[in-house]
Amino acid sequence: MSLDAGHAVQREKRESIRRIAGDRVAVTMHRVEDVPAFRGLDIVPTGYICVFDFSTDRDETLEVLKKALYRPARDRKTETDRFRLEAHGLLVS
């Protein structure tokens, strides 16, 4: 997940994942400027790549992420959930 450490909502997402996953996740932060693929780019100095290493299977990981990140619209027209992990980051399993 990309993260701007200066952005409160993004920090809250990271903490929500940590809180809900508990000891099922190890979190590491990497400064964007330290990632070789991004060196030399003009990137905000508060930019990070946040890696969540889950010890759970894919389905349980998705449930944790959905619980931590998804907020359904108040004026929903259907009961179908519209959670899209791609709006928050990338899942590699």
| Residue 87, both tokens | 């709006």
Q: What is the pLDDT of residue 76?
A: 67
pTM comes to 0.80
Q: Could you give the CA distance from residue 71 to residue 80 in angstroms, rounded to a whole number? A: 13
Q: Which of 58, 87, 75, 65 is closest to 20 using CA atoms?
A: 65
Burial of 21 (0-12, 13-18, 19+ CB in 10 A): buried
Tens of pLDDT, residues 21-76 = 999 999 999 999 898 988 888 888 899 999 999 999 999 999 999 899 887 777 76
Whether 3 contacts 49, CB under 8 Å = yes
Residue 8 has pLDDT above 80, yes or no: yes
Identify the band that residue 93 occupies on the pLDDT scale cut at 50, 70 and 90: confident
Rounded to 5 degrees, what angle do the CA atoms 13, 1, 29 make?
Answer: 90
Q: What is the pLDDT of residue 72?
A: 72
